């Protein structure tokens, strides 16, 4: 999901709509904005579909006045899927004795099932099927006197990955979990306003200056010109999601002080070193494979070409929550550039192989177009484990790499060769010159390594074996 908040700017909701538009790649199912102004109190609008189709028209935006607002774009990883219920669309809102509070959450609460059970037994009435709603109910049970303190109390009981943006009548609040699995950054709007955004690309679109990242385990409370920082959680080693670097974030964002584009280009460079091949063309599977394909071409000297053309009117396929649409998705979204491909030995670079359906369809299309050879190079290691921290990977049995070796996957997809970047190569590309520190990994890489930084306790209760 993508989250964005603004305080201290006229018509803050307009900035939030722009910020969410820049974060649309993080969630395409639905979006919502809550704003507050002293005259009208809290207002909200929640809609299915793209930000540009909902939060650009005056009829909606005029209902969201005020100098403070937060918003969310949804990508379902917990709660209803596919036909998302509007009640699951964030931000969530709670009315407390000290005033209202809205929250927007990116990530996944790994003990949400247990928390929900406990809260319902003690009288909470849930409105949605979302894991994030727990935070509001935990706040309601807190005896702290301020909303910010209640958020701390609530989040201390929450396990898993979260970046949260919250707002009260006057305060904008940002928090990251102790491992800092999901991103969150702080920006400055002119000399009076502040913004919080999942990624720096959200700051760029509103012309805000990037100030710094919110740190793992940090909470900031912004009011007027003050940014107050505290550390509410037991300290842990940072474990930022390495898949944000590979796929999830936008390439024009800056993560951990590094350009995402540059990390992805370096993945291609590493891949060309680890798994060279003789070929005529290097083609990305657009858009997610593009920077790595550029790096592969630069390092190998094999010309880069656009052998596959992407229909710009389609969103992200994987992020489509239903399998049916995902299957249709490949042909709706990608087409082979026949004139270029015919008779050529082609290296195809993609970001990941999950179920393998995308790779198999692309191989079919490219052989139909007359390619002489097809070599896949993948910008992440084999995805052998599900993510429980906010990326919607399927259960383990549906992951190709959970049941097959690399050679078996090559034969199943039906290509001349298939190579994945090594975990060490990926870490090097992400700026860790010594590669992965096996004793204390610098990132979360559980979907590749099976080493989960946070025990996924709900899933274990369901029978998942680590």
Known binding residues for [4Fe-4S] cluster are 241, 387, 444, 447
Q: Token pair for residue 273? A: 């070193």
**319: contact with ligand 5GP by CB under 6 A:** yes
For the chain, the distance separating the N- and C-terminal CA atoms, rounded to the nearest angstrom, is 25
Near ligand SF4 by CB under 6 A: residue from 18, 260, 446, 454: 446
Near ligand SF4 by CB under 6 A: residue from 6, 22, 354, 387: 387
Asked if 101 is an active-site residue, the reply is no
Shortest reach from residue 10's CB to ligand SF4, in Å: 37
**247: contact with ligand 5GP by CB under 6 A:** yes
**383: contact with Mg ion by CB under 5 A:** no
Q: Token pair for residue 322? A: 């239903």
Q: Which is nearer to ligand SF4, 208 or 292 (CB)?
A: 292
Interacting stretch for ligand SF4, rule CB under 6 A, among 39-47, 329-337, 349-357, 385-393? 385-393
Q: Which does 135 bind (CB under 5 to 8 A by kind): ligand SF4, Mg ion, ligand 5GP, none?
A: none
What one-character-per-residue DSSP string does 353-368 give?
-SSSHHHHHHHHHHHH
Shortest reach from residue 110's CB to ligand SF4, in Å: 11
**383: contact with ligand 5GP by CB under 6 A:** yes
d(CA 30, CA 20): 11
Q: Which residues are annotated as a binding site for Mg(2+)?
A: 288, 350-351
Q: Which is nearer to ligand SF4, 252 or 451 (CB)?
A: 451
b/e per residue 295-319 (b: at least 16 CB within 10 A): bbbebbebebbebbebeeeeebbbb
Q: For 241, how many CA atoms within 13 A lie in the half-sphere containing its CB?
A: 26
**106: contact with Mg ion by CB under 5 A:** no
Q: For 172, how many CA atoms within 13 A lie in the half-sphere containing its CB?
A: 32
Q: How far is CA 259 from CA 251, 291, 430, in A?
A: 7, 11, 9
Interacting stretch for ligand 5GP, rule CB under 6 A, among 7-15, 22-30, 48-56, 354-362? 354-362
Q: Please, which residues have CB within 8 angstroms of residue 453's CB and are 6 or more apart in sequence? A: 179, 181, 236, 239, 444, 446
Biggest CA pair distance of the chain: 71
Q: Which is nearer to ligand SF4, 135 or 387 (CB)?
A: 387
Which among 150, 68, 153, 158 has a CA at the least distance from the CA of 113? 158
Q: Which is nearer to Mg ion, 86 or 314 (CB)?
A: 314
**444: contact with ligand SF4 by CB under 6 A:** yes
**357: contact with ligand 5GP by CB under 6 A:** yes
Report the DSSP beta bridge partners of residue 100. 95
Q: Token pair for residue 153? A: 């109390």
Interacting stretch for ligand 5GP, rule CB under 6 A, among 106-114, 261-269, 310-318, 402-410? 310-318
Q: Is the dihedral of CA 399, 129, 240, 462 positive or negative?
A: negative
Q: Which does 241 bind (CB under 5 to 8 A by kind): ligand SF4, Mg ion, ligand 5GP, none?
A: ligand SF4
Q: What is the dihedral of CA 208, 214, 219, 222, to 10 degrees?
A: -20
Near ligand SF4 by CB under 6 A: residue from 131, 199, 270, 445: 445
**358: contact with ligand 5GP by CB under 6 A:** yes
Q: Which does 35 bind (CB under 5 to 8 A by kind): ligand SF4, ligand 5GP, Mg ion, none?
A: none
b/e per residue 196-214 (b: at least 16 CB within 10 A): bbbbbbbbbbbebebeebb
Q: For 11, how many CA atoms within 13 A lie in the half-sphere containing its CB?
A: 11
Which among 270, 283, 295 has a CA at the least distance from the CA of 346? 283
Q: Which is nearer to ligand 5GP, 14 or 393 (CB)?
A: 393
Mapped onto helix, strand or coil, the DSSP state of residue 210 is strand
**288: contact with Mg ion by CB under 5 A:** yes
| Residue 14 burial (CB count, 10 A) | 19
Q: Which does 353 bind (CB under 5 to 8 A by kind): Mg ion, ligand SF4, ligand 5GP, none?
A: ligand 5GP
Interacting stretch for ligand 5GP, rule CB under 6 A, among 227-235, 252-260, 346-354, 364-372? 346-354
Residues that are catalytic: 1
Binding site for ligand SF4 (CB under 6 A): 181, 241-243, 387, 389, 391, 444-447
* Site for ligand 5GP, rule CB under 6 A: 247, 285, 288, 316-319, 350-359, 383, 391-393
């Amino acid at each position: 999901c993508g989250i964005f908040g603004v305080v201290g700017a006229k018509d803050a909701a307009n900035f939030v709509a722009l910020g969410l538009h820049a974060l649309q790649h993080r969630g395409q199912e639905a979006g919502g904005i809550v704003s507050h102004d002293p005259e009208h109190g809290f207002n909200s609008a929640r809609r299915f579909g793209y930000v540009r189709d909902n939060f650009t028209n005056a009829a909606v935006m005029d209902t969201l006045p005020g100098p403070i607002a937060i918003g969310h774009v949804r990508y379902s990883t917990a709660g209803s899927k596919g036909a998302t219920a509007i009640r699951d669309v964030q931000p969530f809102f709670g009315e407390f004795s000290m005033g209202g509070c809205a929250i927007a959450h990116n990530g996944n609460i790994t003990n949400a099932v247990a928390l929900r059970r406990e809260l319902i037994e003690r009288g909470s009435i849930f409105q949605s099927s979302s894991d994030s709603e727990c935070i509001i109910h935990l706040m309601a049970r807190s005896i702290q006197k301020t909303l910010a303190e209640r958020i701390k109390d609530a989040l201390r009981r929450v396990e898993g990955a979260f970046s949260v943006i919250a707002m009260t009548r006057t305060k904008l609040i940002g928090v990251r979990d102790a491992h800092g699995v999901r991103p969150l950054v702080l920006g400055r709007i002119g000399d009076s306003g502040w913004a919080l955004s999942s990624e720096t690309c959200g700051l760029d679109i509103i012309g805000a200056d990037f100030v710094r990242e919110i740190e793992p385990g940090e909470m900031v409370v912004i009011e007027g010109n003050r940014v107050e920082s505290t550390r509410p959680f037991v300290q842990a080693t940072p474990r930022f999601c390495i898949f944000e670097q590979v796929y999830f974030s936008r390439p024009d964002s800056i993560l951990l002080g590094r350009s995402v584009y540059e990390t992805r280009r370096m993945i291609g460079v590493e891949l060309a070193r680890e798994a060279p091949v003789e070929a005529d063309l290097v083609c990305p599977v657009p858009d997610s494979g593009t920077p790595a394909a550029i790096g592969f071409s630069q390092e190998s000297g094999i010309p880069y070409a656009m052998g596959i053309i992407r229909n710009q009117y389609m969103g992200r396929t994987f992020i489509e929550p239903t399998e049916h649409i995902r299957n249709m998705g490949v042909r709706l979204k990608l087409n082979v550039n026949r004139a270029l491909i015919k008779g050529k030995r082609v290296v195809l670079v993609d970001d990941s192989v999950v179920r393998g359906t995308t790779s198999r369809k692309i191989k079919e299309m490219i052989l139909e177009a007359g390619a002489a050879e097809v070599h896949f190079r993948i910008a992440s290691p084999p995805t052998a484990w599900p993510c429980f921290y906010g990326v919607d990977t399927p259960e383990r049995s549906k992951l190709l790499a959970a049941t097959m070796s690399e050679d078996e996957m090559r034969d199943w997809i039906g290509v001349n060769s298939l190579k994945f970047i090594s975990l060490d190569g990926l870490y090097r590309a992400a700026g860790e010159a010594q590669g992965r520190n096996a004793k204390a990994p610098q990132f979360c890489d559980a979907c590749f390594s099976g080493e989960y930084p946070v025990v996924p306790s709900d899933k274990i209760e369901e029978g998942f074996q680590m």
